[in-house]
Every structure is written in C-alpha cells, then in structure tokens.
Copies of this chain bind each other. A is one copy, B any other.
Amino acid sequence: VIGVDWGTTSFRAYRLRGREVLDRLDLPLGILAVAEGRFERALQDAMGPWLADGERRILLSGMIGSRQGWVEAPYLPCPAATADLARALIPVPFAAAETLLVPGLSAADQDSVPEVMRGEEVQIMGTVDPSGGTTTVCLPGSHSKWVRVAGGRVEGFSTHMTGEAFAALRGHTILGRLMQPDAPPDPDAFRRGVVRSGDPGGLLHHLFGVRTLGLFAQLGEAAAASYLSGLLIGHEVRAAAPLQPASPVLLIGAGALCELYACAIGQCGGSARLAEADAAAQGLALIGERAAWTSPDC
C-alpha cells in the first residue's frame, strides 16, 4: 500500500509493507501547488516509479479531501477510532491504482461551534495506544489541534489559529517593524512571552506590549519574534486544556515546534512527551490494514 499525507503545502508519500516504511518521498506538491486541480496527473507523476514496481493500492489523507482538493470527503463525526475511519473511506477515481481517501473528523466544541480536522486524525491513530486511557494530544501548527483521546478513539477536539495569527501579526502589523528578520530563536524571550500570557489584560493587550517593550529598550529586535511566539503559544496552552504534571500532553509534529510547546506546557503547570516520528505513515498503515480493498495486494 502507498500512503500519502497530502496537505495544503506538502505531499508526503510512504511505500508501506504492513507497518514498515520501505520508501518515502517528500515533494513540494501541496494541493495549492497543483495547477487547475489536475490531481490525477500529479499523483501519477509522483507515484509513477512505485506503481511501475507493482503497487496497486493508494490511501490518501489530508486537505486533498477538502472542497479545494480532489474529491470532497464528508467529515466523520466524533467519537471515531481507526476502524471507524477505515469503514468511512471514500473512493477516488484514479486509473493507475485503487485509491481511497480518509475522511476528516468533525466535532462540536462545548458551545456547539463546529470543529474540523483533515489529516491530523491519521497522525493521531498512528500514535495513540488503542488500549490506552484518556490522553490529551496536541498537534501544533498554523491551526493547532488539541484532542481528547480515550481507548484509541478521538472523543473531541478544539482548534487554535495560533500559527496563522503569529504570521499575520508579525508580517502585517506594526509589531513586525520591531523584529529583526531571520533572527535565530531566543529561548529566554520565548519563556518571557509565555510568562506574560498568564497576566491579566488579555491577548490583545499583551500584543501591544511587544511594541512598548521594544520602544523602551526592554526587548531587543532579535528577541521580539520569539517573545510574540511565547505570548501566543502561552495563551493557547493556558486556554486549550486543563494541565497536570501527572498527565502528560502527547505532542505530534515537527521537532522544533513541539519543543517550544513542551516548554510552554511545562511553564503552565503541565508536562509533555513527544510522539515518535512517522505518525502519518503509521496511521495510514493501520487504516490501510483495515480498509475493504477490492484489488489484490501487490
């Protein structure tokens, strides 16, 4: 089986034998980079060698199943486990191989505002223990997800627009003018931002402090972006979930960002552990094992 985590800006393919990753391919071929929606052609080009080598089954996940993607897959409502996702796969018309699509998940937060994810559900299934107890999982990013998992099932989740808000505030407000471009991360400034996020006054007030601390030479231009990052991630972490040292948050994602979240979670009274790599590949393998393929295995 070929598993593809096909997102807005990335295309990560895994050639799988059971749960073993035989080969992998990481291309800058996110759905925004595919001209005129020619997804079949793009998949054919990218997977040509593996298909020529006999692969006949492809499992897709991520934003490729969104309205802007190839085939729109309705969200599967929570609670949902690996088996539920495997039963809800959507066929995709692709001539060169039997191709199925993992639907995203939907949920309602406690005030019935809808919640959605696409792609993260596969990473979660590839990481959590199906026989495990209640765990909080966090997938940091442009749209960070905080997920309640119990017994291998996603019970519910909430999204925080932290990464995208950071980029917009840094790139398109007065705050960016006080920041040295391409400054290396400043861990002390990050921690200072996380501390500040616990003060009264709210995020919109704390943002202005990035400017005034700079104005009064209490925050250098090389440190300001890390401070802003700590401020935003601190606000997210404090609002997202109850934190306890004895119940570590399971972090899934890129190493450097997960390290920042682990730091912030620790500062806010919790603890964190980092998931092993290849969460998406493992999740695609587990769902692929349970899929009702009609084609013969290669």
Q: Which residues of A contact B (CB under 8 A)?
A: 109-111, 113-116, 143, 158-162, 164-165, 167-169, 171-175, 196, 199-205, 207-209, 212-213, 215-216, 218, 232, 235-236, 238-240
Main secondary structure of the interface of A (DSSP, over half): helix
- B199/A115 in contact, CB under 8 A: no
- A204/B232 in contact, CB under 8 A: yes
A60 to chain B, nearest CB (A): 20
23 contacts between A and B (CB under 8 A): A109-B201, A109-B205, A111-B196, A111-B201, A113-B196, A113-B213, A114-B209, A114-B213, A114-B218, A115-B208, A116-B212, A159-B205, A160-B202, A160-B204, A160-B205, A160-B208, A161-B208, A162-B204, A172-B172, A201-B239, A202-B235, A202-B240, A204-B236
- B212/A113 in contact, CB under 8 A: yes
- A204/B114 in contact, CB under 8 A: no
A274 to chain B, nearest CB (A): 22
Given the known inter-chain contacts A168-B173, A173-B168, A208-B143, please indicate yes or no for A236 contacting B159, CB distance below 8 A.
no
A132 to chain B, nearest CB (A): 25
Q: Residue of B at shortest CB range from A144?
A: B204
